[in-house]
Amino acid sequence: MFLFILIFKLFSHKPDATFTPLPLAMLNQTVLDFPILLLPLVSFVISFFTSMAGVSGAFLLLPFQVSILGFTTPSVSATNFLYNIIGCPGGIWRFIREQRMLWPLAWLISLTSLPGILIGYYFRIRFFPDPSLFKLFVGCVLLYLGSRLLHTALQKKSKTVRQENSHFTITDIHYTPTHLSFCFHGKTYHVAYVPLGAYCLFIGIIGGIYGIGGGALIVPFCVSVLGLPIYTVAGATLFGTFIASISGVFFYSFIVMGQGQTFPPHWLVGGLLGLGGLLGMNTGALVQKHMPEKNIKIILALIIFGVAGKYIIDFFL
């Protein structure tokens, strides 16, 4: 309930008529005027819920930075990547410790997403510098994501998870040059490299534009198309998000594009949000195995619909 109230308050905020997007140099004063301790709290609450689905929550923190902090330069995407770099290790460590990290899948997602991040960075600078157009793009991406998640949640009844913790381990991992297979809860699953790799490359492009690692778009594909349990995908997608975000910060900080500019992250904002994400993702990964898969998907889908609807409506009004 607190999460829904937070999202409502976030998007009910209306800047006055004199509001203009702040360049990075002026954002420091805005951050100082904003309650500093609230930044880690916001990221903790968001990442606690989203990390259960293998998503860092960066896609929800972007509208927070745009709407509340007035942060609309391309550096907002780099700041989201910085948040992922600091926050994701909390969830990754938990999944590794509980033997729920599917390493072959994690590396496949990571390596195929990297080229897309660079392409997405170029698109973000070249075609999406206008915040209004960027909001429309973000809204459409999130609308697709929410629809996909809700569809998979309502498609069939998910079994309520009440098994012993020892059953929440991935076993019998085998991989060939073309396929990956593993066992979870007594069932064997198979993953073909080529379809998933091609999809991750495409999602890497979107992630480079939006400033996310892409896990928010990869999870629905793995669960609804490939039929993988969300409990086995979450750790791999968080790891992929972490690796992709390292390259994202590098591209935005050091590769010159546009009018001879680079767009590094805002280190204070990214650091404070990342601290909350570190704790939130660790806690979310710990609680995940006690939550029914259907509930995780529905909660995440409803939040995404709210954000997407707000951005799309704002573009046309």
> Residue 120 — φ and ψ, nearest 5°?
-65, -35
The pLDDT confidence band at residue 170, using thresholds 50, 70 and 90, is confident
| pLDDT band per the 50, 70, 90 thresholds, residue 57 | confident
pLDDT in tens, 2-39: 444 444 444 444 443 333 444 444 455 555 566 777 89
CB 269 within 8 A of CB 62: no
pTM, rounded to two decimals: 0.78
Averaged pLDDT for residues 231-241? 91
pLDDT in the model for residue 88: 96
Average pLDDT over residues 78-93: 94
Q: Flag whether pLDDT at 261 surpasses 90.
A: no
User: What pLDDT sits at residue 210?
Assistant: 67
Whether the Cβ atoms of residue 278 and residue 87 lie closer than 8 Å to each other:
yes
Mean pLDDT of the chain: 78
More confident residue, 142 or 277: 277
Q: What is the pLDDT of residue 6?
A: 44
Q: Tokens 């297979």, residue?
A: 181
Average of pLDDT values for 113-140? 75
Q: pLDDT, tens digit, for every residue of 61-85?
A: 887 887 777 777 778 888 998 999 9
Higher pLDDT, 258 or 106: 106
Phi-psi region of 214 (alpha: psi -120 to 50; beta: other; left: phi over 0): left
3-state helix/strand/coil string of the chain: CHHHHHHHHHHHCCCCCCCCCECHHHHHHHHHHCCCCHHHHHHHHHHHHHHHHCCCCHHHHHHHHHHCCCECCCHHHHHHHHHHHHHHHHHHHHHHHCCCCCHHHHHHHHHHHHHHHHHHHHHHHHHCCCHHHHHHHHHHHHHHHHHHHHHHHHHCCCCCCCCCHHHCCCEEEEECCCEEEEEECCEEEEEEHHHHHHHHHHHHHHHHHHCCCCHHHHHHHHHHHCCCCHHHHHHHHHHHHHHHHHHHHHHHHHCCECCCECCCCCHHHHHHHHHHHHHHHHHHHHHHCCCCHHHHHHHHHHHHHHHHHHHHHHHHC
